[in-house]
């Protein structure tokens, strides 16, 4: 029935352009065409409202002035913008509600979500596309890698097999690792062996994380890096303020106890053991360095030889550990290592030495259990759901199984799945690269007016901006079946054993990581998969990446007015580009090397300028919980700089091309449309009460909009 309604609207669209009859007759005609049975449909009021709104815009077409865009894309996006507004609000008093109030009213928080907005909505759409691609086994000419993506998804969707196996796959792994104290007395002296197994085979990071990445001070080589890790809750603050977080700590304990019981332990034993684990994590939280104190990478970067780790943290047998994690690559004690948490490693070594070995073992095994919960039977997922409901107010049970499986397939075989996604959705002539160039020009031109930056630093900053490498849409290798197959050749996937596939993925990714150690960094290597609704800037490669997943409505449409595109994807581009010059990105030069390339006077002026921003954002709060302006500084700089660059680029585009036609029905100039469009891309639905873990990078958008 809804298809019939919209077909009638299409007829009306044509009619309004071709006929010049009385407006009252037109409204009567469309009303008469709608079947009475429609009014009994669920959601009839929303659909009827959209129809009336659509008609209203098209009626205005009859009296439109010549400078108005009347193409179908323009009329469609005008309808979307209009529906998101709340015209009862004065934009000079509350711009955010004016721009987004209608959208928030029509988009209540979906069940199972802690937040909802255009980013979330687009990701849902992308997941639906991926679902169809993964379930379409009749597609011809699939590469082997693309087939593996479909098989991985099928195994994840095979719930009957997962339920049949129950907890056995995990119990077998625990027994192979050496067991734990859940079912009886445990007294083994195998700490080093267990640490190696859980870190190398299961990719967990109990006390610290070890990985391979580009050397920040030598961007032409990869290097082993060590950093702090180990907490089971999202941040150290949960453990440090027990009074304020009592209900979350209790929910966490109940969750761990339930997992212990599901794995065969008694309630009494599980209660005692899990409380010991939380007590240990609390001690770990006390020695964990807050993120806001780690933003100056020049201060926390320490390059040493592997043999020096034994002096820094003697509780760990480092060479056997590193050799296990990076097998089959051969290492020796002169292997260079970058340590980003020197004091933490010293303290965690002391903590390990002074903690009962059974507590250490139980803690390490629980890290594995936590990681495996989502790939076990429904009992484990129900336990996790109860925990998440307390933490975030969300119900995982509201999430269909296919969404979990699509997301996991994207994580494991995202570039194989991305090949299918790109072929299905991405337009090669989207002209996005032109916008990147315009945003970059605007940013560089703005440097001329930065009064606090000295000429030498300005020149170097322009050179860095010029050198930024843009990657748009997808990595080129995924469109070449032989190259794509080669990447995933060693990843074995079956159609019916989900747990085994995940274990195979851990082994596969471990080998890939190890082999990177002896290779030069690849500038064309992506850290996001093509369907991702996001973007990023990588300082060690001085590159900006814009996946295909975000290069579509509501952020970008080639047929839309430039005001919408610059206010949408243009701001995203400007945001990522500005990260090259935020409080962390500015420490890297044009070649991606961490070094002092600013003059001291400019560093001091920058610090003074950014401290003002830290104080400003620290004065904001959500549900009476203050923001940490120091922690969010990089994102705040990028948001402000990104918007400025995008608007300047739009003004420059107008100067070169002339003013573009306005959209019908809105009564806005295109300059106003730029800011309204920007705001609507950041609309956020109702939030849950618990904002403790709500990303501050998202929350700060609210306040930024108030200043525009």
| Residue with tokens 């240990």, as numbered in its chain | 280
For every residue of 629-697, which 3-state class applies, written as one string? CCCCHHHHHHHHHHHHHHHHHHHHHHHHHCCCCECCCCCCCHHHHHHHHHHHHCCCCCCCCCCCCCCHH
Q: Is 625 a catalytic residue?
A: no
Count how many Cα atoms sit within 13 Å of the Cα of residue 209 in the half-sphere of its side chain. Answer: 13
Q: Which of 243, 511, 569, 207 lies closest to 361 in space, CA to CA?
A: 207
Dihedral angle at the C-alpha atoms of 493, 496, 501, 503, nearest 10 degrees? Answer: -140
Residue 302 pairs with which residues in a beta bridge? 339
Question: Would you tell me how many other CB atoms lie within 10 Å of the CB of residue 428?
Answer: 7
Q: Which H helix or E strand runs over 339?
A: strand 336-339
Residues 220 and 593 sit within 8 Å (Cβ to Cβ)? no
Burial of 61 (0-12, 13-18, 19+ CB in 10 A): middle
Q: What tokens were used for 159?
A: 């719930």
Question: Annotated catalytic residue: which of 281, 408, 444, 576?
Answer: 576
* β-sheet with 302-305: strand ranges across: 208-215, 218-228, 336-339, 302-305
Beta-strand pair 625-626/621-622: antiparallel
Spell out where 230-331 has E strands.
Answer: 302-305
Angle at 440 between CA 696 and CA 679, to 5 degrees: 40
| Among 12, 53, 9, 92, residue whose Cα is nearest residue 675 | 92
Options 377, 408, 639, 696, the catalytic residue: 639
Alpha carbon separation from 560 to 72, 264, 556, 571 (Å, rounded): 10, 59, 8, 16
Which residue in 75, 503, 586 sits closest to 296, CA to CA? 586
Q: Which two tokens stand for residue 41?
A: 């449909």
Please state, as a whole number, how many other Cβ atoms lie within 10 Å of the Cβ of residue 344.
24
**Sign of the Cα pseudo-torsion (680, 684, 686, 689, in order):** negative
Q: Are strands 218-228 and 336-339 parallel, antiparallel or unpaired?
A: parallel
Whether 189 sits among the annotated catalytic residues: the reply is no
- Helices of type H across 43-179: 44-61, 72-84, 95-106, 118-135, 144-157, 159-165, 168-177
> Strands of 543-547's sheet, edge to edge?
469-473, 543-547, 536-538
- Torsion 96-98-99-101 (CA) sign: positive
Q: Hey, CA dihedral for 123, 126, 130, 132, is it positive or negative?
A: positive
Which residue is associated with the tokens 């009296």?
Answer: 63
One DSSP character per residue, 375-410 reads GS-HHHHHHHHHHHHHHHS--GGGS-HHHHHHHHHH
- Counting Cα atoms < 13 Å in the Cβ hemisphere of 170 gives 24
CA angle 215, 198, 490 (to 5 degrees): 70
Give, for 546, the enclosing helix (H) or strand (E): strand 543-547
- Three-class SS of residue 79? helix
Nearest to 501 by CA among 513, 511, 492: 492
What is the set of active-site residues?
576, 639
């Amino acid at each position: 029935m809804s298809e019939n309604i919209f077909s009638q609207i299409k007829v009306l669209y044509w009619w309004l352009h071709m006929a010049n009859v009385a407006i009252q007759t037109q409204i009567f005609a469309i009303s008469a065409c709608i079947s009475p049975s429609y009014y009994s449909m669920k959601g009839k009021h929303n659909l009827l409202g959209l129809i009336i709104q659509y008609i209203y815009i098209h009626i205005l077409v009859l009296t439109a002035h010549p400078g108005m865009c009347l193409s179908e894309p323009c009329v469609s996006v005008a309808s979307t913008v209009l529906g998101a507004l709340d015209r009862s609000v004065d934009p000079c008093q509350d711009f955010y509600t004016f721009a987004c109030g209608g959208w928030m009213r029509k988009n209540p928080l979906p069940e199972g979500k802690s937040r909802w907005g255009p980013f979330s909505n687009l990701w849902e759409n992308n997941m639906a596309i991926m679902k169809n691609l993964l379930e379409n086994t009749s597609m011809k000419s699939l590469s082997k890698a693309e087939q593996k993506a479909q098989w991985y998804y099928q195994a994840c969707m095979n719930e009957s097999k997962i339920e049949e196996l129950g907890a056995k796959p995990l119990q077998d792994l625990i027994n192979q690792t050496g067991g734990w104290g859940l079912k009886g007395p445990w007294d083994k002296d195998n700490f080093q062996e267990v640490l190696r197994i859980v870190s190398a085979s299961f990719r967990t990071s109990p006390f610290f994380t070890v990985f391979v990445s580009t050397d920040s001070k030598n961007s032409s080589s990869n290097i082993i890096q060590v950093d702090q890790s180990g907490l089971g809750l999202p941040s150290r603050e949960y453990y440090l303020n027990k009074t304020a977080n009592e209900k979350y700590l209790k929910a966490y304990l109940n969750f761990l106890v339930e997992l212990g019981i599901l794995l065969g332990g008694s309630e009494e034993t599980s209660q005692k053991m899990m409380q010991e684990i939380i007590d240990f994590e609390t001690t770990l939280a006390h020695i964990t360095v807050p993120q806001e104190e780690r933003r100056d990478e020049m201060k926390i970067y320490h390059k040493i030889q592997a043999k020096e780790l034994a002096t820094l943290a003697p509780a760990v047998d480092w060479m056997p550990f590193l050799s296990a994690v990076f097998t089959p690559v051969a290492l020796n004690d002169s292997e260079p290592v970058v340590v980003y948490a020197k004091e933490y490693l010293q303290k965690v070594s002391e903590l390990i030495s002074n903690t009962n070995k059974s507590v250490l073992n139980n803690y390490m095994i629980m890290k594995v259990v936590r990681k495996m919960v989502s790939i076990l039977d429904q009992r484990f997922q129900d336990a996790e759901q109860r925990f998440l409901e307390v933490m975030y107010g969300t119900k995982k049970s509201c999430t269909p199984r296919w969404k979990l499986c699509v997301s996991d397939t994207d994580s494991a075989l995202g570039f194989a799945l991305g090949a299918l996604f790109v072929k299905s959705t991405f337009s090669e002539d989207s002209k996005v690269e032109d916008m990147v160039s315009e945003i970059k020009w605007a940013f560089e031109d703005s440097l001329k007016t930065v009064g606090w930056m000295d000429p030498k630093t300005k020149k170097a900053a322009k050179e860095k901006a010029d050198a930024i490498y843009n990657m748009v849409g997808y990595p080129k290798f995924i469109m070449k079946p032989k190259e794509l197959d080669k990447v995933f050749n060693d990843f074995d996937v079956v159609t019916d054993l989900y747990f085994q596939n995940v274990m195979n993925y851990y082994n596969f990714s471990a080998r890939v990581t190890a082999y990177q150690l002896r290779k030069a960094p690849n500038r064309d290597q992506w850290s996001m998969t093509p369907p991702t609704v996001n973007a990023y800037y990588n300082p060690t490669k001085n590159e900006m990446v814009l996946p295909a997943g975000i290069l579509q409505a509501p952020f970008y449409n080639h047929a839309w007015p430039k005001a919408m595109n610059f206010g949408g994807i243009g701001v995203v581009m400007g945001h990522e580009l500005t990260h090259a010059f935020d409080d962390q990105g500015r420490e890297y030069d044009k070649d991606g090397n961490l070094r002092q390339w600013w003059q001291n006077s400019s560093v001091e002026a920058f610090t003074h300028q950014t401290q003002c921003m830290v104080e400003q954002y620290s004065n904001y709060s959500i549900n009476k919980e203050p923001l940490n302006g120091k922690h969010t500084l990089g994102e705040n700089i990028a948001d402000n700089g990104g918007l400025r660059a995008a608007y300047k680029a739009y003004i420059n585009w107008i100067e070169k091309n002339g003013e573009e036609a306005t959209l019908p029905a809105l009564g806005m100039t295109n300059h106003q449309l730029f800011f309204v469009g920007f705001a609507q891309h950041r609309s956020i639905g109702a939030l849950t009460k618990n904002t403790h873990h709500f990303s501050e990078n998202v929350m700060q958008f609210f306040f930024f909009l108030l200043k525009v």
